[in-house]
Amino acid sequence: MSEILSRCGHNGIAVDVPVTPRGGTDHTVKAYLVEDSDAFAKVADARDALGHLQAFGLGPIGEIAVREVEDENWLEAWKATVTPIRVGRFLVRPTWSDASDSGAITIALDPGMAFGTGLHPTTQQCLEAVSYLDLEGTGVLDVGTGSGILAIASAKRGARKVVGVDTDPLAVRAARENAHANGVAVTLHEGSAADIEGTFDIVLANLVGPVLVRIAPHLRARLGPSGSLVTAGITAQAEREVLAAFVAEGLGVVDRDERADWIRLILTA
């Protein structure tokens, strides 16, 4: 069926497989056609080929069903799902929104293909930490910067030097554009904590448990005297292993937050 429909379909074939087999025609094979003068002929050809396929007795094969898909502005539909949100001292809004809050620090964000819209619990946990930590005049390193939201927030809270790193070049590009849009100075590099020299007063690492365990020594090496390490993206199941990795580096927990099975830790030496 996929091969037959690929002859007339546009940009590939989609196959829907039911979670629970229901017997008979379990799979649904879909092809999308541009509605033009050749569309009806293509459907007729596919029906003829399907008839030949049924002659092989391969099992139940349903008839081709044709329906029109309404033309929508998918970009605008996606934008409607990204709404402003107040987190700690910050109002995080998409760049296409004019939302404001006189009592909040506004971050205008276009997430692009990078992680970090402000909606995920781990991002909110880190934003709240950035809200109450004393960042005035400090140096901040954001490891796994994603969209750059935490780095931008740190700069807006008065950090003297902010550096963001990410192993994804698309994230670095998105973060650079977002920093420029917010009028803040953030130095951005492709890489991780091991690729940065020097130490920082605050190190932010909103990653996942296994990655935090692996780079724990590098995060510790970037942390200056009396500095604070803010880590998030830790599941409840991974907390013990992550904590053990940081304790082995001489760090201890001074604050813990749990939300929707996600853990945020703030540690110091």
Q: Tell me the per-residue pLDDT of 37-92, one tens digit each, with 9 for 90 and over.
A: 888 888 898 888 888 887 787 777 788 888 887 766 666 766 777 789 999 999 99
Q: Is 193 helix (H, G, I), strand (E, B) or coil?
A: helix
143 CB-contact burial (10 Å; exposed 0-12 / middle 13-18 / buried 19+) = buried
| pLDDT at 172 (0 to 100) | 94
Distance CA 97, CA 80 (A): 10
| pLDDT at 63 (0 to 100) | 82
Measured at the alpha carbon of residue 203, what is the angle toward residues 232 and 221, in degrees to the nearest 5?
A: 115
- Model's pTM, two decimal places? 0.74
The answer to which of 4-18, 116-130, 205-219 has the lowest mean pLDDT is: 4-18
Distance CA 125, CA 130 (A): 9
| pLDDT at 21 (0 to 100) | 65
Q: Is 183 helix (H, G, I), strand (E, B) or coil?
A: coil
Instruction: Report, as an integer, the average pLDDT of 210-237.
Output: 97
Query: 151-178: per-residue pLDDT in tens?
Result: 999 999 999 999 999 999 989 999 999 9
Distance CA 165, CA 192 (A): 6
Q: In what order do the strands lie in the sheet with 90-94?
A: 85-87, 90-94, 105-109
Instruction: Report, as an integer, the average pLDDT of 16-27.
Output: 69
DSSP state of 191: S
Going by C-beta distance under 8 Å and a sequence separation of 6 or more, which residues neighbour residue 163?
139, 140, 141, 142, 151, 186, 187, 188, 189, 196, 200
Of the pLDDT bands very low, low, confident and very high (cuts 50, 70, 90), residue 23 is: low
Q: Domains for the chain: give ranges and CATH numbers.
A: 2-54 (no CATH), 76-268 (3.40.50.150)
- What does the radius of gyration of the chain's CA atoms come to, in whole angstroms? 25
Of the pLDDT bands very low, low, confident and very high (cuts 50, 70, 90), residue 196 is: very high
Query: 137-146: per-residue pLDDT in tens?
Result: 999 999 999 9
| pLDDT at 135 (0 to 100) | 97
| pLDDT at 225 (0 to 100) | 95
Distance CA 264, CA 233 (A): 7
Reply yes or no on whether the pLDDT at 32 is more than 80: yes
The structure tokens listed for 153 are: 């927030």
Distance CA 269, CA 261 (A): 26
Distance CA 255, CA 246 (A): 14
Pairing of strands 262-268, 223-235: antiparallel
Of the pLDDT bands very low, low, confident and very high (cuts 50, 70, 90), residue 10 is: low
Instruction: Report, as an integer, the average pLDDT of 203-223.
Output: 97
Q: Which residues of 168-206 are buried (b: 16+ CB within 10 A; e: fewer)?
A: beebbbbbbbbbeebebebebeeebbeebeeebbbbbbb
Reply yes or no on whether the pLDDT at 206 is more than 90: yes
Reply yes or no on whether the pLDDT at 113 is more than 60: no
